[in-house]
Amino acid sequence: MIYLDYNATTPLCDAAREAMLPYLDRHFGNPSSVHAAGREARAAIDNARDKLAALLHAKPHELIFTGGGTESCNLAVLGLARRASSKGGHIISNKAEHHAVLNAVEHLEKREGFEVTWLNISRDGIIDLNHLASAIRPETGLVSIMTANNETGVIQPMREISRICREGGVLLHSDMVQSFGKMPLVIPSDVEESRDATSKVTPRDPSTPKAFGAQDDIGSLFDAASFAAHKFYGPKGAGFLFAVVCQFSRSCLAARMRMSDDPEQKMSRQL
């Protein structure tokens, strides 16, 4: 078979399979157990979290393992929106989001009384940045915009979106399921923020793209970001959420809602 649908999902790579096999067979301990088998399983989870944190320039305790991209998006959107509801219950997103985000936002709008501003999108699929800036108001608690679209491949100007949200004092979540492992975490702007001795903005040289370094870590751009392992040669049913702990209380994990086009996931459950 010739497989050409890698944007939908990827096969499990040999390295991931080999790393998983011992924990599907010999090392089956519960990571919450205090005995040796449990401690061994806990060490494996902590090691995986440390490696992911290093990739993202994040802190290990800012990563939450989930059952996939849908759960990661639901946790971020529902958790951050509810946490920020004291500001007035206003959310900003757009109709081009994956249904993992779109259905969560529509749930908040229709069932929990949140007000939603749906951003304008250009013919090229790019968010209207002027509309975003003008839509932010004192009641705005959350903006959720995906980094790369799973259907069209359109990449949003996340650095500019982050700057607008930071200036407006608004929490920002990004669905990064489609982009992680395929591109830099954030595509550099056409004009960088660095300035020369004359204080004029220095244009970026396209031949030398800016690296995603520690000075530009994921937490400086986003308050939360969602990921799914099956998009980059990992297993199905595994994902993770980056969330700045000061913005994302662990109490937000008390209620999780799964909402997607998959009928098996179109139900809510309480943990």
**What whole-number distance in Å separates Cα of residue 118 and Cα of residue 141?**
14
With 0.85 as the threshold, say if the pTM is over it. no
| SS3 state of residue 41 | helix
Domains of the chain plus CATH, in order, are: 10-56 (no CATH), 66-184+215-270 (3.40.640.10)
From first to last of its 271 residues, the chain has per-residue pLDDT tens of 999 999 999 999 999 999 999 999 999 999 999 999 999 999 999 999 999 999 898 999 999 999 999 999 999 999 999 988 888 999 999 999 999 999 999 999 999 999 999 999 999 999 999 999 999 999 999 999 999 999 999 999 999 999 999 999 999 999 999 999 888 876 555 433 332 333 333 333 433 333 333 345 788 899 999 999 999 999 999 999 999 865 555 545 544 444 444 433 433 333 2
Nearest-angstrom CA–CA distance, 194 and 217: 16
H/E stretch holding 195? strand 191-195
Task: Please answer whether residues 74 and 257 qualify as being in contact, where contact means their C-beta atoms are separated by less than 8 angstroms.
Answer: yes
**Burial code of 46-81, b = ≥16 C-beta within 10 A, e = fewer?**
eebbeebbeebbbeeebbbebebbbbbbbbbbbbbb
